[in-house]
Amino acid sequence: MALIPAYQINAPSTRACNVDSPVFGGTIAQMIDLTNHLALGRARRCVHANFTRLAPKDFADLDGDTDTIEIDAEAPESSETLEIPWLSSPMARYVVLFIRYRATGSPSIAADLYELNTTGGAHTRIDVGCSWSATNGRLQSTRYSEGVGTRYALLEATTTAQIRDASGGVDEPRPLVIPSASRGLELMVRLDCVQTSITSVDIFELYEEQWT
Amino acid sequence: MANTFVLPTSGAGAVPSPDAVVSGQVIESETVQKLTQLVNFTHAHLGCSPVVSQGYQGEVFSVTGTPADYNCIWRVPVPSDAHQTLVILVKAKLNNVGTGSIVFTESENSNTATINITSNVATWYRATLSTGSQSNEYAEITAKAIHSGSTGTIIEYVSLHWLPLTSPLAAGQVDQNHFGTLKITPLGEDRSGADYPLASARGKNLVQTLRALAKRPRPLFAWSGLQRVASARAPKTMLPDMFREFRALIRAWGGSRDRDHEYTAFVFAATHGNGDDRLILWRDRRKTIAAATVTPDWEELTALEPFRRESISDQADTDLIRDGLDRPPTENVAPASPVWSVQIWGP
């Protein structure tokens, strides 16, 4: 079985396909390598989701007044739920998250995965997912003092791309699993946040051949 | 059936192996069939990640009445001329009473799609927008929320993606929309079967199609400010901290052809009429927005593959790039920056 090239291979020259020229296996192999890279690499979905919030002051006051623009001085929300939808690709097997956040107190983030319902009904949960929290040592307050002010540093949490078995309960951070029946459907990652404000999330799909 | 493809799902055996065509092997028709099917699949699906994926917290995107013009504007990449349906996913609610909606408009052909908001509880809605053929490599999309009364329509999330093509692909060459003359030729899978010759013309079509697909951009970053919304605290343009908060992680493909990789940033930019020039910075590109520019216009910046990889790459087991606009240096800090909207796309 072929490895899927992570790097882009050059397309063969059209001169390799001239009339009356023999077709070399290398030409076809080059086409296959590039096609596998494009189809199984780049055609996987990637999502950059960002969350816009109210500014600390009226927008008109911000122009020319730098002292009022201190988003990192804003205390994170006590709790909020964020939802990010996308159309998964048919070969998506896992979902990797990179989450940028600010946190205070005893923060936590729980991530689970759903089939998106856009007709008013309940979303179907397909992976109960994983969590980052003070309890499992994956998340802490990012609050710090700067002079007389208080700031909340922007840090990053991730599921990593290291595949781990799903226990059936809420796990330590791991890539979320898309069951085969849900691949290619519109999905949604839900993030339940406590004392945490998420500013943006990057989502990557992983493809992995079936194993036994 | 011509121009078909199967989905390369796990265990389907749809992925051809280059080992099947090395020296001394006979090129089997089955291998060529798999190759052509996978090329068709790539044409159908590549570039169908969300072109816009923006969340709005704390009623930042709340509208009363009917705004005079759009609330948000985006310039999104078009995968090919065959991709003409945008899927719109919106999470929204009514603040209290009245009726509300959000209208998406595609600028070139003035096609629209309207989603009626019917609940006081935040709910996901879905609609499709037929964009028609686009003459550029991008489509310009605007969104305008409407409310019949004074309590407001509240938009919590907007996600847009192109609908992948279905099998079989329509016959005939398709414009790629990117990089001039590159064309995509759907490949009749049954023409790749046993006893069909590997014609020279088919080979050249295949090479050109692969070149076109390798140039097809993926959407990597999109953000639009909010105009004409209810709250005076809604960011109309990018605030300084957003330059850091919103930097996207991008998969870097690298390889021997990484210097062929081209990235594009479109920035909808204007100053705020306060007499100051503003500066847009992206990688090694700079663009000054003159103080007199108070009506926003699109600026296009292009760049090649950056060499520097994100340090988090080790944890992700793959090369990643951190990308986004840079905040200008202190002496030219734009408290309210000139960036009304920005989209970045690349390989």
pLDDT digits (tens, 9 = 90+) for B280-302: 999 989 999 999 999 999 999 99
Pair A195, A177 in one domain: yes
What's the CATH number where A76 sits?
2.60.120
Phi, psi (rounded to 5 degrees) for B98 = 90, -170
Q: Are B46 and A38 in contact (CB under 8 A)?
A: yes
Residue B34 lies in a domain: yes
Residue B230 lies in a domain: no
Per the listing, tokens 């109309």 go with B236
What contacts B160, CB < 8 A, 6 or more positions away?
B50, B51, B52, B53, B74, B76, B86, B87, B88, B89, B104, B141
Which residues in chain B are closer than 8 Å to A36, comparing Cβ atoms?
Answer: 15-16, 18, 38
Taking CA atoms, what residue in A is nearest to B343? A48
Looking at the DSSP bridge assignments, the partners of residue A96 are A204
Taking CA atoms, what residue in A is nearest to B337? A63
Edge to edge, the sheet with strand B339-346 lists: B218-224, B339-346, B262-269, B297-304
Pair A2, A77 in one domain: no
Pair B83, B148 in one domain: yes
Q: How many domains does chain A have?
A: 2
Phi, psi (rounded to 5 degrees) for B316 = -90, -5
Which residues in chain A are closer than 8 Å to B256, comparing Cβ atoms?
Answer: 7-10
| A174 in contact with B, Cβ within 8 Å | no
Pair A93, A27 in one domain: no
Which residue in B22, B235, B244 is closest to A52 by CB distance? B235
Q: How many domains does chain B have?
A: 3
Say if the Cβ atoms of A9 and B255 lie within 8 Å.
yes
Pair A39, A54 in one domain: no
Which is nearest to B310 in space by CA: B248, B243, B260, B232? B248
**Predicted ipTM beyond 0.85:** yes
Indicate the pTM of the whole model. Answer: 0.95
Residue numbers of the domain that contains B89: 49-164
Q: Which amino acid is at B6?
A: V
Number of C-beta neighbours around residue B138 at 10 A: 23
Pair A83, A1 in one domain: no
Say if the Cβ atoms of B55 and A51 lie within 8 Å.
yes
Q: What is the distance in angstroms between the CA of the first residue and the CA of the last residue of chain A?
A: 15
Instruction: Among A17-21, A174-178, B4-8, B176-180, name the one with the lowest average pLDDT.
Output: B176-180
Q: What is the DSSP string of A37-89?
A: HIIIIITS-EEEEEEE---SS-HHHHTT-GGG--GGGSPPPSEEEEEEEEE--
Task: Take residue B78 and report the two structure tokens written for it.
Answer: 């078009």
Residue B173 lies in a domain: no
Q: Are B4 and B167 in contact (CB under 8 A)?
A: yes
Could you say which residues from 127 to 146 on chain B have a Cβ atom under 8 Å away from some Cβ of chain A? none
* Closest-CA distance of chain B to residue A169, Å: 24
Pair A12, A111 in one domain: no
Which residues in chain B are closer than 8 Å to A71, comparing Cβ atoms?
Answer: 239, 241-242, 245
Residue A211 lies in a domain: no
Q: Which amino acid is at B296?
A: P
| B29 in contact with A, Cβ within 8 Å | no
Pair B295, B307 in one domain: yes
| A45 in contact with B, Cβ within 8 Å | yes
| A52 in contact with B, Cβ within 8 Å | yes
Examine the pLDDT at B90 and tell me if it is beyond 50: yes
Rounded to whole angstroms, what are the CA distances from B287 to B82, B279, B323? 34, 6, 17
Instruction: Among A13-17, A43-47, A127-131, A153-157, name the one with the lowest average pLDDT.
Output: A13-17
Which residue in B56, B125, B257 is closest to A52 by CB distance? B56
Q: Which amino acid is at B72?
A: C
Per DSSP, chain B holds a count of helices (H) and strands (E) of 4, 19
CA B180 vs. chain centroid, Å, equals: 19
Say if the Cβ atoms of B8 and A40 lie within 8 Å.
yes
Taking CA atoms, what residue in A is nearest to B222? A48
pLDDT digits (tens, 9 = 90+) for B124-156: 999 999 999 999 999 999 999 999 877 799 999
Query: B309 or B41: whose pLDDT is higher?
Result: B41
Which residues in chain A are closer than 8 Å to B239, comparing Cβ atoms?
Answer: 55, 62, 69, 71
Residue B210 lies in a domain: yes
Q: How confident is the model at residue A212 (pLDDT cuts 50, 70, 90)?
A: very low
Pair A120, A19 in one domain: no
What's the CATH number where B103 sits?
2.60.120.260
Question: What is the C-alpha to C-alpha distance for residues B202 and B192, in angstroms, rounded to an integer?
Answer: 10
Q: Are B161 and A86 in contact (CB under 8 A)?
A: yes
Residue numbers of the domain that contains A61: 46-206
Residue A212 lies in a domain: no
**pLDDT the model gives residue B323:** 92
